Structure formats: structure tokens, C-alpha cells
DNA sequence: TTAGGCTTTG
């Protein structure tokens, strides 16, 4: 056995009362000062929990007084085969993984561990299935890193070998089969710290939800299927109701109380995963129910497959060990294919007159309305497509930054909260990020014909449907996403969010002077400005039209019309190498390619290579799709999701979009014999945020996907699409606006082409198709440059640079014009 | 003690 040379003690446990040949032998070691006490605690804990005889044995200079029975010989991993005689053999390995203790259908305890062969430098692992009393005992004792020795095992074919890539056989171990287990525990690394005293405390046992008994206090893991965010109860405490489900498919509703909001689980979404310690189980109305008992503690985890396993704790001190991380990951994978947890989330821009939804937003103002209702002014950066209700409140009651509230007056909406939510609403801090659950939108019919009907936002009293208000921390991924979005919105003047033709009217609704009124903007100023060549003088269009190409001009003209009128028709993909333009493929084409890939099974040989870690699972629907995600590592470590590049095999369009919301980069791939490869180039080679990046079919020469590892080795991989394209041998296509402007200046009219990646509109062409905010901005810009239904005299002037050039079209030459070095004025965008 | 979700509406 592998034992450290310094002071060690050994603990011998004979288990299975009456059984002489089935034994668990645990060897514990520790530093001199601490070893004795820790061991004593362990022994006492074991005596209490298992009522087993405990015997302390002394080890001198790393040698065990008690050796393994002399007839036993070590068996190598490669010699484990079905049908061979392993009677006098033992197998030894390091525990690299252990699963939660569960019960089989017949009530037998079952415990599964994974051993790694410690004689071989190559990773070689084997599943060991332990049944009955031995399972229970091992679950209490075993930690990752322990040396595990087993004799008297049965060798059987491993049904999961194909999936987990471990040894083709597994070992079956039980008292009944006459097995013997010897465990050598790993010495503690930090003997005096809090974690160590926790690690020698009795190991927590987690009860599956189908094994709960009335009157017990248990520890649980579960996926949140439903929850009510903490609300003020009628007693002295906050209350939160949480319904969990686990792999047994049994549900448990827990009612949790605490006077301190932070001591309740920090659940933000259905699908989050929780670990509860010390929940009391009671029977209520014929069903099991969980309730807080003394010392209740919880950890909550994001339920997204592949997201970092970072607990949100309800107490300052908690234990969390590697194998628990595995439990969380397994629950995530189970949930991904067995549960549908898509919530009724929506943005303000998605609202309809009659709906209930969850809104993630920032609080910008609040006010007392009356005894039973309270006003929250919130925004999420998007614009509600309907006029919204403004709740009348006394000015002195309104809390919040007045200038900001004025700025956001067209984006912020009033939410009226009622009854039990008032107290919590009052305590909210301006600027905090909230998720308001089950907000109701209601269309108010116009009583007066002069006032158009508007939409009202209500958070009704009561807590059914999980109605309530949750306070999200700044580091919540949804909050981080929202903050980034809000910053973009704030960069632009929200004046322009108005859909009025502001050039002529100004703002009739307020008299504030701290913001520039559109009237103050001189209409004679150009709606576009030049970014260079300021010293050039203007040329009349008549002169331009009568001159030879190629030349460059500065002109002052009005935009009489433009084409195409439909935004999506103006966005194209351009290859700067072969200079061709093509249409942006629609989502169906991508979906079709993905469906075509479903037939290609992921190659197990390509799972978890040195530079990426893979997770594979099978969907539970009739298609039994195999999905594999390969997370690219950085210095052998997984990164935070927002910095992570992943490759996916077998995902649907929807699944891929979902991943792009959490992870920096997503690359759809498929397996071939010896490597992963990109899909057909009609599909995007990369998805980042909302943007699909395509490669030019003509100019690309795809290279091995392994080249990505060179980018991952950089100090801080930026995952720039151009760099990714380069290492993958892809010639990237760029999104570009292509439009035809008909310009007039009273002396003549000419058509000038706009070919713009970003500069002219100050809107990236790559983002506009998937960003409704940018679409609104674009629409407003075009409405300003060329207001529909307006006479020529009323149109704004545009200052532009244009260049003329010749195109030989068959036999005739034609002169074309293109706009350059021009941008829309800052007060227009 | 409180709430015990399976349903919402000023």
C-alpha cells in the first residue's frame, strides 16, 4: 500500500456482524499533533453511525502490522477478464470518483466508485459497484484520492464502457459474495484548517427523494422545479417554498423559514441545483414535505451544463468536496435531458397586452402609492412596444435619480406591486438588479378617446405561480449580461428612443432644460458628418454628374429615397479576398445542416483530449440524440463560461443558441475518424453572442481543429473571430450594409452606394439582424435622414464624400458612386 | 408561528 512515511495510525473495522471474511480496513494518517484527535472523532462518528467494532492499530515506519492475507496476489487491470479465476487475487487502485449512495429497486444500498490503476501512468479506470451494507459503509468512508483494495470480487461486463470510456469490465462487490475491502485514506493536506476538521467530520449522506421517511432529518440534492422567492410571511420570518426533483423523478416540496433573508437558498431560476443539509421530513396531506430544521443550510448552483460549479452558500462555512461537484454535474446532465425548465422570461420589448412573465431588470425609482400598493420604476434597456402606464404619485414620494429617470422616461416602466410584496419592495435599493417573477401585463381600455390605451404592469398580491421579487447579485450571469446591455443603451441619447418625428416637435411632455431639445439642434446642420478631408470644398451634383470618373467629391445633398427599404435585405456577407457578396443564410439552412449531422455519432476516441474536456449525454426523447460538448481548456483548466470556447456535436439550433448566451464562443463540429471537423461552410464556423460567423467557401481551406489549442495556450485567449478563422484556415465573411441612396441637391440627382461595415451608421452590420435595439436605432436613423411622407424642403442636409468609379458592363462603361469617410451625426444616432 | 405552490388578474 502507498503510505506516507511519517506517523500513521490504522483503523481496522470489521463489518457485517457475524461475517468473518468481509471486512473494511481503513488506514488513516495525519500529522502528529492532529492525527489522534481527528482519528478519535472519526472513530466516534463511525461507532455512532455504523455501530461497528473499532480497533486502533499502530503502523511503524510505514509498515502495516497487519498485512493483507498472505494468499492474496495483486491482479493487474489488464488481466481482469470475465471467466478468469480471481479467487486469490486483489485489485488495488486510487479512488477518482464516487457517486452518491443510492438504493436499488429492491431497497439494497448501492454505491459506485471509479478506480484508477495506480501502476500505470496512463489513465486507466474501472468502475466498482458495491452493494448492501458494504455500500453504506464505503459511502461513509471513501474520499477521492484514497487507495482502495478489494478481494473476492466478481468481474462482469460493464454496460457503460462505451459511454464512460472506462474498462470493459466492472467489479461487483458485496458482503454476500464474500468480498473484502481495504481502504487507505489520503493524508490531510492542511491538518489545522477549518476544511480539515470538516473533512474528518462524518461524511454527509444524501438521501434520494424517493427514499424519504417521515420524521427524519436528511441531507438532499435536487433540481429546482418550482420556487417562490423569499417573501415576508405572516409570522416572524421570511418564507421560501421550493419544489425539488432528482433522478428518481420524485418531487419534494420544502417550506423554508428564516428571519434572515440570506439564510434562505439563493435560487434565481427553475433548473438551479440545490444541496440542503438538515431538512426535516414530514408527511403532510399524504405527501412528504421538507421543512427547515435547526442548522438548516443550503448551497445553490447554476443548473447549466458546463457552467462552473460555484456554490451560492447560505452560510459562511460549508464543506464542498470534489465528488459533490460530480453530483451537481450529473444532476445538470440529467435535468438537461429529462426536465423542461424554460421559464416564462421576457424582455420589455417582448411584452404583449395579456401575459405573465419573469423580468430581469434594474430598479431606477420607487414610490409609495397607497397602503396596499407600491410603485417600482424599472428598465431592462429594451423598449416596450406599447405605450406604458404611468402611475401618478406625489413628487415628494418618488425616490431615484431625477435626471436618470428623465433620461429613461421612454424606456423605464412602472410596476405596481401589491399587498405582501410591498414590504420587500420598500426595502429595495435604487440601482439594484431584480428579477420580478410573474409580472402581469394588462391592457387598460381608454376611458377617454384622447388617451390611447396603454399597458399596465402589476405584481399581484399572494405568492402563487412563484409571484415575487428576487434580488440578484452583481455577479449573476444574467445581471452581467444586462449590465453590458444597459451600458450600450446609455451610450446613446435615449431621447432618440422616441418614435416621434422629434425634429419638428420637440418634447411636449416636459419642460426640463438639462437635456438638449431637438429644437435646439439647428435644422440646417448636416445629419451626417465627414470623418476626413475637412478642407475639401463642396461640389454640386450637376458638376459631379458631368465629370469623368474616377474622382472624389465632397457634396451636400438630401436623401430622397433609399433601397432596400427592408433592413434585412440590406445586410450581406462580403469576402474581402475574392470580393464577392452573398446573402446571409437563414436559420433554416443551419438547422438543416445540424439535422444532417445527427446521424454522425460522436467518436469516443475524441472525448476529453489534453486541450479540451468533454461531456456527453443522450437525450431522453424518442430520437435518443447524442450530444457532446467539448470545453476548450486554458492551461489545463476550465475557464469561466463567459471566457470559454466550446465545440458541440449533435446539438440542435435551439440548444446552440442557448449555449451562446452563456459561453463566449460556440463552434459546431462533427466527428470524423481521427479528429473533429467543422461542418459544411454553409453553416457558421463560429457563434459568438448573437453573431454567426461564416467562412467563404471559395477562399477557405479548413485546417485541423487541433489548431485551436494554440490559441488556448495564449496568456489570455481573446477568442477573436478573425484569429479563430485564421488558425482554422477559414477566410471569414464580413457582414456589411449594402444600400443605394438617391441623393439630390437641387442641381441634380445621383445614386450612390453605401458599403458599410459599421462606420456610417455606427451600428455593426454583424449585430443588427439579431438585436432589436440596434434595429430600432437603425430605423430611427433612417427616419431622420429620410423622414417618410416629408416634402423635400423639410429633409435634413447630408454632408458626404463620394467617389466615382467606372464599371465595364459588357460593351458599355458606366459610372458608379460610392459613399466613403462619412458617418451619421452623433445627435442622430 | 409563518406555509403547506399546481394557481394569477386591483
Q: CATH no. for residue A55?
A: 2.40.50.140
Position A165 scores a pLDDT of 67
Whether residue A415 is predicted with pLDDT greater than 90 in this model: the reply is: yes
Give the burial string for A451-479 (b: 16+ CB within 10 Å, else e): eeebbbbbbbeebeebbbbbbbeeebbbb
By C1' distance from the Cα of A421, the closest nucleotide is: B10
Please provide residue A209's backbone torsions phi and psi, each rounded to the nearest 5 degrees.
-70, -15
C-alpha A272: how far from its chain's center?
A: 11
Q: Is the dihedral of CA A311, A314, A319, A324 positive or negative?
A: negative
- Per the structure, the residue whose CA is closest to nucleotide B6 at C1' is A465
Position A472 scores a pLDDT of 95
Assigned domain for A272 exists: yes
Assigned domain for A581 exists: no
Q: How far is the CA of A463 from the C1' of B7 (A)?
A: 9
pLDDT band at A371 (very low <50, low <70, confident <90, very high): confident
- Per the structure, the residue whose CA is closest to nucleotide B1 at C1' is A235
Domain range for A796 is: 528-570+735-824
Q: How far is the CA of A242 from the C1' of B6 (A)?
A: 13
Whether residue A497 is predicted with pLDDT greater than 80 in this model: the reply is: no
Q: Which of A180, A178, A177, A172 is nearest to A156 (CA)?
A: A172
Q: How far is the CA of A729 from the C1' of B6 (A)?
A: 54
Residue A454 and residue A431: Cα distance in Å, rounded?
A: 26
Position A119 scores a pLDDT of 59
Please provide residue A196's backbone torsions phi and psi, each rounded to the nearest 5 degrees.
-70, -45
Position A16 scores a pLDDT of 29
C-alpha cell, A78: 489488464
Assigned domain for A582 exists: no
Q: Are residues A707 and A751 in the same domain?
A: no
Position A448 scores a pLDDT of 52
By C1' distance from the Cα of A228, the closest nucleotide is: B5
Q: Which of A329, A752, A355, A787 is nearest to A539 (CA)?
A: A752
Position A269 scores a pLDDT of 92
Position A527 scores a pLDDT of 87
The torsion defined by the Cα of A395, A397, A402 and A406, in degrees rounded to 10, comes to -60
Q: Are residues A537 and A505 in the same domain?
A: no
Q: Which of A815, A829, A828, A665 is nearest to A751 (CA)?
A: A815
Q: Which of A775, A54, A637 is nearest to A349 (CA)?
A: A775
pLDDT digits (tens, 9 = 90+) for A223-233: 999 999 999 99
Q: Is the dihedral of CA A716, A722, A726, A729 positive or negative?
A: positive
Q: How far is the CA of A264 from the C1' of B10 (A)?
A: 30
Whether residue A189 is predicted with pLDDT greater than 60 in this model: the reply is: no
Residue A90 DSSP SS3: strand
Residue A660 DSSP SS3: helix
Position A698 scores a pLDDT of 93
Peptide bond into A404 cis (omega under 30): no
Residue A390 and residue A375: Cα distance in Å, rounded?
A: 10
What mean pLDDT is predicted for residues A580-589?
A: 86
Q: Are residues A143 and A267 in the same domain?
A: no
Q: Which residue has the higher pLDDT, A527 or A448?
A: A527
Q: Are residues A636 and A702 in the same domain?
A: yes
Residue A769 and residue A294: Cα distance in Å, rounded?
A: 54
By C1' distance from the Cα of A416, the closest nucleotide is: B10
By C1' distance from the Cα of A442, the closest nucleotide is: B9
Residue A647 and residue A202: Cα distance in Å, rounded?
A: 40
By C1' distance from the Cα of A238, the closest nucleotide is: B2
Sequence-separated (6 or more) residues with CB below 8 Å from residue A132: A108, A109, A174, A175, A176
Q: How far is the CA of A319 from the C1' of B6 (A)?
A: 34
Q: Are residues A478 and A554 in the same domain?
A: no
Q: Are residues A594 and A715 in the same domain?
A: yes
Position A450 scores a pLDDT of 44
Q: Are residues A381 and A480 in the same domain?
A: yes
Residue A280 and residue A299: Cα distance in Å, rounded?
A: 17
Residue A133 and residue A701: Cα distance in Å, rounded?
A: 60
**Residue ending a domain, choose from A338, A359, A380:** A338
What mean pLDDT is predicted for residues A134-160?
A: 83
Q: How far is the CA of A373 from the C1' of B1 (A)?
A: 26
Position A22 scores a pLDDT of 32
Whether residue A262 is predicted with pLDDT greater than 70 in this model: the reply is: yes
Q: Are residues A512 and A363 in the same domain?
A: yes
Whether residue A517 is predicted with pLDDT greater than 80 in this model: the reply is: no
Position A508 scores a pLDDT of 26
Strand A23-29 vs strand A180-184: parallel, antiparallel, or unpaired? Answer: parallel
Residue A104 and residue A135: Cα distance in Å, rounded?
A: 11
User: Do the Cβ atoms of A383 and A411 come closer than 8 Å?
Assistant: yes
By C1' distance from the Cα of A373, the closest nucleotide is: B10
- Per the structure, the residue whose CA is closest to nucleotide B10 at C1' is A460
Q: How far is the CA of A189 from the C1' of B5 (A)?
A: 45
Q: How far is the CA of A461 from the C1' of B8 (A)?
A: 9
Whether residue A266 is predicted with pLDDT greater than 70 in this model: the reply is: yes
Q: How far is the CA of A238 from the C1' of B4 (A)?
A: 15
pLDDT band at A751 (very low <50, low <70, confident <90, very high): very high
Please provide residue A487's backbone torsions phi and psi, each rounded to the nearest 5 degrees.
-60, -40
Longest dimension (CA), chain A: 110
Look over chain A and give the mean of its residue pLDDT values, rounded to a whole number: 80
Looking up cell 475637412 gives A534
What mean pLDDT is predicted for residues A525-545?
A: 87
Q: How far is the CA of A292 from the C1' of B8 (A)?
A: 27
**Residue ending a domain, choose from A705, A724, A743:** A724
Whether residue A121 is predicted with pLDDT greater than 50 in this model: the reply is: no
By C1' distance from the Cα of A344, the closest nucleotide is: B8
By C1' distance from the Cα of A283, the closest nucleotide is: B4
Position A829 scores a pLDDT of 67
Whether residue A504 is predicted with pLDDT greater than 90 in this model: the reply is: no
Assigned domain for A199 exists: no
Assigned domain for A125 exists: yes
Q: How far is the CA of A259 from the C1' of B1 (A)?
A: 12
- For chain A, percent of residues with pLDDT exceeding 70: 82
What mean pLDDT is predicted for residues A689-695?
A: 93
With residues binned 3-state (H G I as helix, E B as strand, rest as coil), the percentages for chain A, rounded to 5, are 20, 35, 40
Whether residue A61 is predicted with pLDDT greater than 70 in this model: the reply is: no
Q: Are residues A606 and A669 in the same domain?
A: yes
Positions in chain B where some atom is under 7 Å from a protein CB: 1-10
pLDDT band at A51 (very low <50, low <70, confident <90, very high): very low
Assigned domain for A35 exists: no
Whether residue A13 is predicted with pLDDT greater than 70 in this model: the reply is: no
Q: Are residues A244 and A169 in the same domain?
A: no
Q: Are residues A131 and A154 in the same domain?
A: yes
Whether residue A18 is predicted with pLDDT greater than 60 in this model: the reply is: no
Q: Are residues A494 and A518 in the same domain?
A: yes
Q: Which of A220, A215, A222, A224 is nearest to A280 (CA)?
A: A215
Total domains in the fold of chain A: 5
Whether residue A1 is predicted with pLDDT greater than 70 in this model: the reply is: no
Assigned domain for A472 exists: yes
C-alpha A784: how far from its chain's center?
A: 38
Question: HSE on the CB side for A765, CA within 13 Å?
Answer: 25
Position A53 scores a pLDDT of 20
By C1' distance from the Cα of A372, the closest nucleotide is: B10
Q: Is the dihedral of CA A170, A176, A182, A188 positive or negative?
A: positive
Position A178 scores a pLDDT of 84
Pick out residues whose CB falls under 7 Å from strand B. A 225-226, 228, 233-237, 239, 241, 243, 251, 253, 255, 257, 259, 282, 284-285, 289, 291, 344, 356, 372-373, 418-419, 438, 440, 442, 458, 460-467
Angle between helices A477-491 and A772-785 (to 10 degrees): 10
Q: Which of A268, A266, A282 is nearest to A318 (CA)?
A: A266
Sequence-separated (6 or more) residues with CB below 8 Å from residue A585: A682, A683, A694
User: Do the Cβ atoms of A301 and A313 come closer than 8 Å?
Assistant: no
Q: How far is the CA of A257 from the C1' of B5 (A)?
A: 15
Amino acid at each position: 500500500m502507498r503510505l506516507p512515511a511519517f506517523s500513521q495510525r490504522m483503523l481496522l473495522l470489521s463489518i457485517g456482524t457475524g461475517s468473518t471474511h468481509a471486512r473494511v480496513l481503513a488506514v488513516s494518517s495525519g500529522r502528529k499533533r492532529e492525527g489522534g484527535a481527528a482519528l478519535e472523532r472519526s472513530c466516534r462518528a463511525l461507532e455512532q453511525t455504523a455501530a461497528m467494532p473499532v480497533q486502533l492499530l499502530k503502523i511503524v515506519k510505514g509498515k502495516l502490522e497487519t498485512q493483507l492475507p498472505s494468499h492474496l496476489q495483486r491482479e493487474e487491470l489488464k488481466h481482469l477478464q470475465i471467466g478468469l479465476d480471481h479467487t486469490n487475487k486483489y485489485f488495488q487502485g486510487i479512488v477518482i470518483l464516487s457517486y452518491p449512495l443510492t438504493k436499488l429497486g429492491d431497497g439494497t444500498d448501492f454505491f459506485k466508485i471509479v478506480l484508477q490503476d495506480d501502476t500505470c501512468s496512463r489513465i486507466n479506470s474501472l468502475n466498482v459497484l458495491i452493494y448492501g451494507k458494504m455500500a453504506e459503509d464505503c459511502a461513509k468512508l471513501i474520499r477521492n484520492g484514497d487507495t482502495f483494495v478489494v478481494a473476492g470480487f466478481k468481474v462482469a461486463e460493464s454496460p457503460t464502457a462505451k459511454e464512460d470510456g472506462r474498462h470493459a469490465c466492472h467489479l461487483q462487490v458485496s458482503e454476500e459474495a464474500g468480498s473484502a475491502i481495504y481502504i487507505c485514506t489520503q493524508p490531510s493536506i492542511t491538518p489545522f484548517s477549518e476544511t480539515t476538521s470538516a473533512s474528518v467530520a462524518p461524511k454527509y449522506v444524501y438521501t434520494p427523494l424517493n427514499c424519504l421517511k417521515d420524521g427524519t432529518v436528511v441531507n438532499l440534492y435536487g433540481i429546482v422545479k418550482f420556487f417562490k422567492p423569499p417573501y415576508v410571511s405572516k409570522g416572524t420570518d421570511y418564507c421560501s417554498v421550493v419544489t425539488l426533483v432528482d433522478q428518481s423523478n420524485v418531487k419534494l416540496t420544502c417550506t423554508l423559514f428564516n428571519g434572515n433573508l440570506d439564510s434562505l437558498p439563493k435560487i434565481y431560476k427553475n433548473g438551479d441545483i440545490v444541496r440542503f443539509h438538515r431538512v426535516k421530513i414530514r408527511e403532510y396531506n399524504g405527501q412528504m414535505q421538507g421543512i427547515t430544521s435547526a442548522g438548516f443550510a443550503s448551497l445553490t448552483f447554476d443548473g447549466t451544463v458546463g457552467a462552473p460549479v460555484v456554490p451560492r452558500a447560505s452560510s459562511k462555512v460549508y464543506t464542498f468536496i470534489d465528488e459533490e461537484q460530480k453530483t451537481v454535474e450529473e444532476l445538470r446532465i440529467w435535468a438537461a435531458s429529462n426536465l423542461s425548465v424554460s421559464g416564462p422570461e421576457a424582455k420589455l420589448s417582448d411584452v404583449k397586452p395579456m401575459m405573465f412573465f419573469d423580468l430581469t431588470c434594474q430598479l431606477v425609482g420607487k414610490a409609495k402609492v397607497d397602503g396596499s400598493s407600491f410603485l417600482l420604476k424599472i428598465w431592462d434597456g429594451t423598449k416596450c412596444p406599447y405605450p406604458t402606464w404611468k402611475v401618478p404619485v406625489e413628487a415628494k414620494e418618488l425616490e431615484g435619480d431625477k435626471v436618470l429617470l428623465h433620461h429613461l422616461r421612454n424606456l423605464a416602466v412602472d410596476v405596481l406591486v401589491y399587498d405582501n410584496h410591498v414590504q420587500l419592495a420598500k426595502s429595495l435599493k435604487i440601482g439594484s438588479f431584480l428579477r420580478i417573477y410573474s409580472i402581469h401585463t394588462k391592457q387598460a381600455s381608454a376611458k377617454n378617446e384622447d388617451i390611447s390605451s396603454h399597458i399596465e404592469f402589476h405584481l399581484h398580491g399572494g405568492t402563487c405561480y412563484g409571484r415575487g421579487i428576487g434580488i440578484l447579485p452583481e455577479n449573476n450571469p444574467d445581471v452581467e449580461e444586462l449590465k453590458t446591455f444597459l451600458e450600450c443603451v446609455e451610450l446613446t441619447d435615449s431621447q432618440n428612443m422616441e418614435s416621434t418625428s422629434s425634429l419638428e416637435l420637440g418634447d411636449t411632455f416636459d419642460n426640463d432644460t438639462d437635456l438638449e431639445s431637438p429644437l435646439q439642434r439647428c435644422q440646417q446642420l448636416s445629419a451626417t458628418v465627414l470623418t476626413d478631408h475637412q478642407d475639401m470644398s463642396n461640389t454640386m451634383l450637376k458638376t459631379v454628374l458631368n465629370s469623368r470618373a474616377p474622382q472624389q467629391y465632397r457634396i451636400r445633398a438630401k436623401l430622397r429615397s433609399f433601397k432596400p427599404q427592408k433592413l434585412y435585405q440590406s445586410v450581406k456577407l462580403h469576402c474581402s479576398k475574392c470580393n464577392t457578396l452573398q446573402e446571409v443564410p437563414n436559420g433554416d439552412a443551419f438547422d438543416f445542416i445540424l439535422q444532417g449531422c445527427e446521424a454522425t455519432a460522436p467518436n469516443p476516441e475524441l472525448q476529453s483530449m489534453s486541450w479540451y474536456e468533454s461531456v456527453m449525454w443522450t437525450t431522453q426523447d424518442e430520437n435518443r440524440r447524442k450530444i457532446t460538448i467539448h470545453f476548450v481548456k486554458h492551461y489545463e483548466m476550465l475557464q469561466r463560461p463567459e471566457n470559454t470556447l466550446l465545440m458541440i456535436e449533435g446539438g440542435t439550433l435551439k440548444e446552440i443558441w442557448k449555449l451562446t448566451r452563456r459561453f463566449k464562443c460556440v463552434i459546431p463540429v462533427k466527428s470524423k475518424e481521427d479528429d473533429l471537423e467543422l461542418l459544411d461552410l454553409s453553416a457558421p464556423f463560429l457563434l459568438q453572442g448573437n453573431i454567426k460567423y461564416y467562412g467563404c467557401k471559395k477562399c477557405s481551406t479548413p485546417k485541423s481543429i487541433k489548431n485551436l489549442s494554440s490559441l488556448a495556450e495564449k496568456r489570455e485567449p481573446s477568442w477573436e473571430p478573425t484569429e479563430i478563422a485564421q488558425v482554422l484556415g477559414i477566410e471569414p465573411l464580413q457582414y456589411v450594409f449594402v444600400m443605394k441612396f438617391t441623393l439630390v441637391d437641387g442641381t441634380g440627382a445621383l445614386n450612390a452606394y453605401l458599403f458599410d461595415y459599421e462606420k456610417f451608421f455606427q451600428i455593426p452590420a454583424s449585430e443588427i439582424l439579431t438585436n432589436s435595439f440596434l434595429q430600432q436605432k437603425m430605423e430611427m436613423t433612417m427616419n431622420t435622414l429620410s423622414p417618410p411622407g416629408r416634402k423635400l424642403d423639410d429633409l435634413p442636409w447630408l454632408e458626404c464624400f463620394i467617389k466615382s468609379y467606372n464599371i465595364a458592363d459588357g460593351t458599355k462603361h458606366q459610372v458608379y458612386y460610392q459613399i466613403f469617410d462619412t458617418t451619421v451625426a452623433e445627435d442622430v444616432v
